[in-house]
A and B are shown apart, each in its own frame.
Chain A
Amino acid sequence: MNEAEKTIKRIQAQKGVEGVIVVNAEGIPIESNLDHQRTLHYTYNFQQLLARTQRVMKDLDPQNEASLLDIQTEKNNILISTGKEKYIYTRTIL
């Protein structure tokens, strides 16, 4: 828990970072600086996308797997990192 908090603080200190969510291995958000509804909405959506991405990567090369998903949109930038705990963070484009 402490590790996650430290990492969140570090990421949040970056310019333009709007939201940081930590999702555990079961897909449950355990830390977030966004309101509850947004946290769940983001987590649900990006869990699915991440799962799909991992399937695609495995399909292309069974020995490979995604480590970072970088989604750029018109308004912001959403980064999702994989690992035991997943970090989702959104950043407005400055």
Chain B
Amino acid sequence: MAEVEETIKRIQSQKGVQGIIIVNAEGIPIKSTLDNSSTVQYAGNVHQLLLKARGMVRDIDPQNDLTFLRVRSKKNEIMIAPDKDYFLIVIQNPTE
């Protein structure tokens, strides 16, 4: 658990990082640096997106798989790193 805390601290110390959320395979956030309501919103929405993206990739090539997803928007950047049992969401303000 200490390793997880350290990793979160390390990511948070990067410039522009607004939030970090760890979500389990069921889409339930288990750790977050954001408030409860934002966390739940991000976790649920991003989970859906992740499943869709992975489905698309597999549809195009069943031997391929999603390794990372990044959504860049006007206001920020959302990075999603999927793993076997969890996925990590990092929201940051991209440095100019």
Q: By the criterion of a CB under 8 Å from any partner CB, how many residues of chain B are at the interface?
A: 27
What secondary structure prevails in chain B residues at the interface with A? mixed
What secondary structure prevails in chain A residues at the interface with B? mixed
Stretch at the interface among B7-15, B24-32, B42-50: B42-50
B45→A59 contact, CB < 8 A? yes
Q: By the criterion of a CB under 8 Å from any partner CB, how many residues of chain A are at the interface?
A: 27
Residue numbers of A with Cβ under 8 A of B are: 41-42, 45-46, 48-49, 52-53, 56-57, 59-61, 63-76
A59-B41, A66-B72, A76-B64 known, 17 other contacts, Cβ within 8 Å: A41-B60, A46-B56, A48-B52, A48-B56, A56-B71, A57-B71, A59-B45, A60-B45, A61-B75, A64-B74, A68-B72, A69-B69, A69-B72, A70-B69, A71-B66, A72-B67, A73-B57
